[in-house]
Amino acid sequence: MSLPTITPGTSPADVPPGDEATAARYVRQIFARVAPRYDLLNHLLSFQIDRYWRRFTAEKASEALVLPTARALDLCCGTGDLLLALGRVHSGPMFGADFCRPMLVAAAAKLGGHARLIEADALALPVASGSLDLVTIAFGLRNLANYRNGLQEMRRVLRDGGRLAVLEFSQPRGRLLGPMYKLYFRYVLPRLGGAISGAANAYRYLQQSVDKFLSPEELSAAMLAVGFRQVRYWPLTGGIAVLHVATK
């Protein structure tokens, strides 16, 4: 099966289409700028619902963590909130990877040795093939310069039977919630986020990247296309976020 015709990866407005190296640099700089206020803004702008989304993700992902020795990697781990949630369901080896050092510095302060952190690009992981039981990625896939290559890399590092859990924003489709959310996301969030973080372009990018991201059906098709099976997904909070879980 081939990928449907969709954006191949994140395409920030200021970056020439198809220039993956510049897109990745742009994304890294954006997150470096917002890192000091990232947690505050995340919880504030989502009315704390993001905590519930990560808990739900950790619960579903725990199906892959039955053995205490199971190895989990959280990609695009940012300041480590999903690692914290995973730590509540698993006491075995856990790793976090991100390519933005200021986000990892914030994660290290919060996690205190709870997980091993790696500064790495999700598209080229310094991780042996077939070595992990679980890969998670929360609000990260949307930012990759190439979705297909990212999913392929996630599949490479998983063992056969291992699980991938992708938590990502989506567009709620409800008659009332859909238009209300669009207004909030397009007009309120970029202004509020920009004002509090001092990085207006970061919150414009957030809004545009969600607008351009794959629908849940397209993401399921993309996962199947790179060889995952048993793809399931759960729309959360009326479809504002969606959790996909797939098996290698």
Ligand X SMILES: C[S@@+](CC[C@H](N)C(=O)[O-])C[C@H]1O[C@@H](n2cnc3c(N)ncnc32)[C@H](O)[C@@H]1O
Q: How do beta strands 229-236 and 116-119 pair?
A: unpaired
Among 23, 24, 189, 236, indicate the residue that binds ligand X (CB under 6 A): 24
**Dist. CA 37–CA 215, nearest whole Å:** 29
Q: What is the CB-side half-sphere exposure of residue 147 using CA atoms within 13 A? A: 28
- Residue 143 in contact with ligand X, rule: CB under 6 A: yes
| Binding of ligand X by 153 (CB under 6 A) | no
Rg (CA), the chain: 17
Does the protein bind ligand X through residue 61 (CB under 6 A)?
Answer: no
In the complex, least distance from residue 4 CB atom to ligand X, rounded to whole angstroms: 22
* Shortest Å, Cβ 104 to ligand X: 8
Looking at the Cβ atoms of 18 and 174, the one nearer to ligand X is 18
What is the dihedral sign for C-alpha 110, 233, 203, 179?
negative
User: Closest Cα to residue 95, out of 74, 123, 76?
Assistant: 74
Measured from the CB atom, the residue of 1 and 76 that comes closer to ligand X is 76
Nearest distance from C-beta of residue 99 to ligand X, angstroms: 4
Say whether residue 127 binds ligand X (CB under 6 A): no
Pick between residue 76 and residue 158 the one whose CB is nearest to ligand X.
76
CB 216 within 8 A of CB 225: no
**Strand 158-169 relative to strand 241-247, pairing:** antiparallel
One residue of 12, 90, 95, 98 binding ligand X per CB under 6 A: 98
Among 9, 11, 23, 31, binds ligand X (CB under 6 A): 31
One of 64, 70, 121, 156 touching ligand X (CB under 6 A)? 121
Candidates 203, 199, 229, 233; CA nearest to 215 is 233
Interface positions with ligand X (CB under 6 A)? 24, 27-28, 31, 42, 76-78, 81-82, 98-100, 103, 121-123, 138-140, 143-144
